[in-house]
Structure formats: C-alpha cells, structure tokens
Amino acid sequence: MRSEKEMLDLIINTANEDPRIRAAYLEGSRVNPTVQADIFQDYDVVYVVEETKSFREDPSWIDRFGKRLYMQYPEDSAYFPSDVENCYGWLMQFADGNRLDLHVCTMETVKRDLELYRVLVDKDNLLPSEPVKTEEIYWVKKPTPEQFHDTCNEFWWCLNNVAKGLWRKEIPYVMDMVNIYVRPMLTRIVEWKIGVDNHFSVSAGKCAKYMERYVSEDIYRRYLATYSSAETEAIWDSVLGMCDLFHEIAAELSEAMEYPYDDTEAENGRAYLEHVRRLPEDAKEIYPD
C-alpha cells in the first residue's frame, strides 16, 4: 500500500506537470485534526481548472494514479443532478488499498464549496492560504425550539406507519419506515444530547459514527439494540425500545434547553403502538366499541 507521502507526491506532481491544472487542495478527513488516521482514509482532492471538458473527453489521464479495482463517476449518475461543465469527478479504489476521490472544478465552484482544506499547489495564488472554515462546521448545532418540536412530532407520527405495516406483515415497508424516517429522528435527538453535554463543541460524525465517544455505555447499548432482524416480534421490541430511548432523551433535552416537549403526544403514540401490537390478525376495527 502506497504511503501518504507517495500518494501526495503523485497528486502534487500531476498538478504541477499538467498546465490545465492551476491549483490543487486536499479536503476531508485527512485535513481534520480531530479524525484519527487509519488505513481506510481516502484522499479527497480537488484540482482547480479553467474547464472540465478536456479531462472528461479523455479520461486516460487518471491512469497515472495506479491500478484500479473499480470506480464511480458520481456526476454521471442518473439519480442526482450535476453541473459537469464546472465540476466532474472520479472516485477510484486502487488495487493497493488506497482510495482517491478526485474532482476537477472551476474556480466558480470552488469558491462556493471551500470549507476545511489544505493547499497542495497554487500556481496563480487562487486559494486563500488559510482554511475558510474550521472543524467547527462539523459540530452538533443547537436546534431551535421549532426544530426540536418538529423532530419530536415526526418521530411519534411516523410510528403510525410502522404500526400498520407490522399488523399487515409488510416487513420491507416497515423496515424502510423505521430506518429511513424514524431512525433519523432518534439519531438527531441523541446528537443533540451530545451537543448539550459538550456545549455544542464536538462532532458526532457522519451518521453519528462517533456516538460511542460521547454517550453512556447504557445509551449506546440501547441505541444499537434498536437495529433488529426483519422479524415481526423483533421489530416490535426494537421500535418500543426506540420509543423509550427517544422519550427519555427528549424529556431531558426539553428541561436542559427549556424547550416544550409534548408528553401527551409521546404517551399517546406509545399507547397506540402497544394497542396495535395486541390487535388480532382478523381485527375489523382498530378500536372496537
């Protein structure tokens, strides 16, 4: 596996040797001092160019970076809009284990996207010598009262869909409802607890990957227990566990931030779930007279 020095030398030399490339900078985890280095860190590199067309029309220029196992062209995705004239990329996994996420972007795009970075090459003094932003951009942000309310409401409301899906035994639908709509609200509330406990001066990481660093062993264990197998009873147990954890933390945050929390909504939402769980498969009414 090529060392960081070898990779950066290759990236820098490529920029210096190609007159189309006017500047280059490194961003991502390798320039964030709070991220612990490991073998899976990729190289997030941007080459500042005047046009992207020549790079796109003859992609053979990227062969110099090494033997690839596979790659992706994110701007060519049918599912996401892009502006290939101003920004185009190649995400490359190399045979030696290194990964390079490389983009060529015009200065127009770079000015809009500059955050935390380190200058590698700057032939025309295009880039500020110091980062425009610091790692603080990743810190958990304190919610507004409206954001807190809406997150709590979304959590309890979306469980309605989970309940009916479980009664109908529509497991794929249920799993998506739990993990796409309900779980983000639980994760957000845990992140806000991390923020409150640390004066909103730390990052929980992408997808709360650093959660274990900042919460108690009990909370972390309970959070992980909300990931269930795709079996009806296991999902019911995990969802009710989500309710317990969410309600406990939301009430704590309500007091700490002096934001209102609708206990009645939470109690009714939990009671509805338990009621639907007890409904017989051939029930004709949700609440029989």
CB 121 within 8 A of CB 26: no
Query: Looking at residue 89, what is its pLDDT?
Result: 96
What gap in Å lies between CA 163 and CA 281, rounded to an integer?
13
Residue ranges of domains in the chain, CATH in brackets: 4-133 (3.30.460.10), 139-278 (1.20.120.330)
**pLDDT, position 164:** 97
Name the E strands within the chain.
Answer: 21-27, 43-49, 68-72, 87-94, 99-106, 117-122
Percent of the chain, pLDDT > 70?
99
At 232 the pLDDT is: 96
Query: Per-10-residue mean pLDDT for the chain, 289 residues long?
Result: 97 98 95 90 97 96 97 93 95 98 96 90 90 82 98 97 97 97 98 98 94 97 97 97 98 97 96 96 88
pLDDT of residue 134: 77
Q: Which residues of 172-185 are buried (b: 16+ CB within 10 A; e: fewer)?
A: eebbebbeebbbbb
Q: What is the pLDDT of residue 129?
A: 76
